[in-house]
Amino acid sequence: MKPPKRLQALIEEGLIDTVVRQLMSGKEATVFVVRCGDETRCAKVYKEATERSFRQAVDYTENRKVKNTRQARAMAKGTRFGRQAQEAAWQSAEVDALYRLADAGVRVPKPYNFCDGVLIMELVTDENGDAAPRLNDVAFSPEQARRHHATLLLEVVRMLCAGVVHGDLSEFNILLGHESGVDCPVIIDLPQAVDAAGNNHASRMLLRDVANLRAYFTQFAPELRSTDYGLEIWDLYQRGVLQTESVLTGRFVQQAGSVDMRSVMREIDDARDEESARLIRMG
């Protein structure tokens, strides 16, 4: 196919050889299958802010690091330079998260290069070597659902142990890849990932990520509906005892004590708003 303008520059730089086809177009980027030498990879071309349907909510960008104080001041003022810096920080957040999580053993696409708003990374494939499907395009047996749910909970724990919360995890941004003869979930789309220790909304996002997994897999394995892994995982993390080897039960008993009802109602309202937004994204 004719290379898009954004990818033509990478061809001229020798970072990719040819563009095979468009793989998908999402709320924040368009992904293409490309050839780099003898390897087939994918190139994620980030959309400009004016073209995206997903906005950089303050909740996600809270406490994100920027290169210098000049950028921070410009971003706070909303100047043209500040908006450009904000875009660069939003895009590089995914690159940073991919390297950080890959080092921690989380199954994410391997990143290879990031240049001018284009991320070149591993093409996750199925057992036939074709582009892997998203979870929402696959039906599972109860046993498969329980196995993939357990695998993804472990990935969530690995991410949290590495100090990262996905922030938008659902069946729409998990691929079902195939490695060593078995199907394995691969987590994608991380520009909204947040720092677990530095973002005041991290706990709510973690609980939502885990709840999304439960809601999806419950349709195949109804017994998962009664589990409460999110609160259990966050409690272990808060107490500083969460490890990748931690044995989870799916049960959590809230400790008795005073309850901040204003905070509880705020969390309920936030959860309601987020679910409405999620339903809109699902179309």
DSSP conformation class of 254: P
pLDDT-wise least confident of 78-82, 135-139, 156-160, 212-216:
78-82
Q: How many domains does the chain have?
A: 1
How far is the C-alpha of 266 from the C-alpha of 281, rounded, in Å? 23
Q: List all residues 6 or more positions away from 274 whose beta carbon is below 8 Å from its beta carbon.
A: 208
Query: Taking Cα atoms as reference points, which of 147, 166, 153 lies closest to residue 242?
Result: 153
Mind listing the pLDDT tens digit for each residue in 36-62? 999 999 999 988 765 444 444 545 455
- Tens of pLDDT, residue by residue over 203-260, are 999 999 999 999 999 999 999 999 999 999 999 999 999 999 999 999 988 765 554 5
Set 183, 189, 235, 270: catalytic member: 189
DSSP 203: H
Catalytic residue among 38, 168, 183, 235: 168
Kindly report the CATH number assigned to the domain that includes residue 185. Answer: 1.10.510
Q: Identify whether 269 is a catalytic site residue.
A: no
For 205, the domain range is: 5-282
Three-state DSSP class for residue 114 = strand
**SS3 at position 34:** strand
168 in active site: yes
The predicted model scores a pTM of: 0.79
Residue identified by tokens 């599972």 is 140
